[in-house]
Structure 1
Amino acid sequence: MSAIPEPPKILQQRLFYRGRKFNFDVNRLRLPNGAEGDWECIRHPGGSLGVPFTADGQLVLVRQYRFALQGRLLEFPAGTVEAGESPLSTIQREIEEETGYRAKQWQDLGRFPIAPGYSDEYIYAFLARDLEKLERPPAQDDDEDIEVVLMSPEEFEEKARSADIIDGKSIASYFLARPFLKG
């Protein structure tokens, strides 16, 4: 079930921070139930995530350093949707940059919010199949510290159960893709 839009009445808008990837604002609002107050929100253009699946039944993940958590996470390749870019073209670019693979088949798995309590960011999830390894993958972004990891769906599920995989967007996207995973 998707959320039915019920916009609040904006009584006062304030922008506190304009960043490279997101903005942060605090607004005085009147909610649909009549409550008034100040609410903070991270404004994000959205992200795209791919669940790359090889012909021999392996998932392609990345182990990526995440400064906010001060450690490396196992996750599916993903990236911020840039201005003028579609979510599909974002993940096509990101998979090539982060994994060195190119997918010939794409399936839209839908979208979902990441943290609706304080952000308007949605993740657009895609299943990427019919992968080919690129001879010359594009360079990774300077701020990325990434290792490519292959694993079976069974290994992925075990690592998610044991908390070796804790990335919520990757776990959610895997279960959206799961009915379509065939070797």
Structure 2
Amino acid sequence: MTLDYEPPELIKHRLSYSGRKFGFDVNTLRLPNGAVGDWECIRHPGGALAVPVTPDGKLVLVRQYRFAAAGRLLEFPAGTIEEHEDPQATIQREIEEETGYRAHRWRKLGQFFLAPGYSDEVISAFLAQELELLETPGVMDEDEDIERVLMTPMELEDAIHDGEPVDAKSITSYFLARPYL
């Protein structure tokens, strides 16, 4: 995703870290208005997410352990886009690995920045319909702790309102998908 704007002037690149899934930069910049400051940014290749809906109208979510949140969050299946991979190919793979379902109808819901105050990560969201439960689900990544959860849209909204931990990308994608449910 690109935005039209006058880019800031890079004065100094101070720190860079490259990890398994993302990188981190610290840069001193001069903004077009003349302000100078330091900006930290998590560099991420982007992610893809599906809002899977069973033929009887249930949403397929996962409850997944997240280290940074120190607990399990309710989420729609999602994954990091591999280098040179199309976002839809990413989520087609991830939905099978994380939920054991395959979708036969896809609708792109849109793209959005996850946390633009400190990250360049963009999420591509899709609606996944005409689900088929696979006899042999895909193999989950060995560093994942995931439980499949089926809910009606009302049960999900109740969970969100009742304070169950649900991640922002799932809440956003649910509301993008709601007109089609």
**Same-fold status (TM-score > 0.5):** yes
* Within-5 A mapping of 1:25-104: 25-104=25-104
Letter in 1 for 2:87: P
Structure 1 residue 147 and structure 2 residue 166: aligned?
A: no
Q: Deviations over 1:120-156 (max 9, x none)?
A: 0011100000000111111100000000000000111
Letter in 1 for 2:107: Q
Once residues 4 and 95 of structure 2 are traced to their aligned partners in structure 1, the CA distance between those partners, rounded to angstroms, is: 32
Identity %: 67
Moved more, 51-60 or 14-23: 14-23
Q: Deviations over 1:56-90 (max 9, x none)?
A: 00000000000111110010000100101111100
With normalisation by structure 1, the TM-score equals 0.95
Given that 2:48 and 2:88 are in contact with CA atoms closer than 8 Å, whether structure 1 keeps it comes out as: yes
Once residues 82 and 15 of structure 2 are traced to their aligned partners in structure 1, the CA distance between those partners, rounded to angstroms, is: 21
5+ unaligned residues in a row in structure 1: which ranges? none
Q: Deviations over 1:3-54 (max 9, x none)?
A: 5433211122244211011110111111122111211100000010100001
Q: CA RMSD in A?
A: 1.3
- The structure-2 alpha-carbon separation of the partners of 1:96 and 1:5, relative to structure 1 and needing over 3 Å to count, comes to farther
Which residue number in structure 1 is paired with residue 120 of structure 2? 120
- State the aligned residue count: 180
Once residues 91 and 166 of structure 1 are traced to their aligned partners in structure 2, the CA distance between those partners, rounded to angstroms, is: 19
* Within-5 A mapping of 1:3-22: 4-22=4-22
Given that 2:72 and 2:165 are in contact with CA atoms closer than 8 Å, whether structure 1 keeps it comes out as: no
Letter in 1 for 2:63: R
Given that 1:61 and 1:148 are in contact with CA atoms closer than 8 Å, whether structure 2 keeps it comes out as: yes
Structure 1 residue 24 and structure 2 residue 24: aligned?
A: yes
5+ unaligned residues in a row in structure 2: which ranges? none
Given that 1:15 and 1:23 are in contact with CA atoms closer than 8 Å, whether structure 2 keeps it comes out as: no
Once residues 58 and 113 of structure 1 are traced to their aligned partners in structure 2, the CA distance between those partners, rounded to angstroms, is: 27
SS at match of 1:164: coil
